[in-house]
Amino acid sequence: MQQKKIYHVLKWGIYLLLVLFCYVLQTTTSLFVVFGVKPLLLVPLVVCIAMFEGEFSGAIFGALAGLYCDLGAGQLFGSNGLVLMLCCFAAGLLVHVLMRPTLTTCLILSGGTLVVRGFFDFFFNLALWDYDGISRILLTSILPVILYSLIVTPLFYYFIRKLSNRFVELLAVE
């Protein structure tokens, strides 16, 4: 019984460290920049966590990652936290009830989350204030970030799947 508690603490600690590590990588100035575009590493990570750990855990990690995104972007604090919490809750629930946790499912759910987050950001930070040239910003900034983030999603999927399966094996031993 004591060993199971240790494994649970270790699993959630590793997930928290991964979120923090991806936040640091995501906010490092010139790391992973391709043609002036940086990926959002936190979004695919927390969607994968939600897929393999369930809707409640997904909501918690989605809110945490969203708050980190808010800190790094200088936006209204809590907006990304709310959006990612709801999207990760939905992703975890969909995988629990309707879908299987496959790479295709991960790409669909991560893509959907990235689109919802991107267009939420676009609408409330640009379109609502009627800035000039917002369609150019959408095409040259927001959509490339979504595509670049979607390209790195399989790395997170395979890593989180392996990690989750390993902890399932360790917890099933006793």
CATH number at residue 54: 1.10.1760
Q: Going by C-beta distance under 8 Å and a sequence separation of 6 or more, which residues neighbour residue 99?
A: 105
Domains: count for the chain: 1
Q: pLDDT at position 148, please?
A: 94
Distance CA 107, CA 111 (A): 6
pTM above 0.75, yes or no: yes
Residues of the domain holding 93: 2-172
From first to last of the 174 residues of the chain, give the pLDDT tens digit. Answer: 788 888 889 999 999 999 999 999 988 878 888 888 889 999 999 999 999 999 999 999 999 999 998 887 767 788 899 999 999 999 999 999 999 999 999 999 999 999 999 988 888 877 777 777 788 878 888 899 999 999 999 999 999 999 999 998 888 875
Q: Going by C-beta distance under 8 Å and a sequence separation of 6 or more, which residues neighbour residue 11?
A: 163, 167
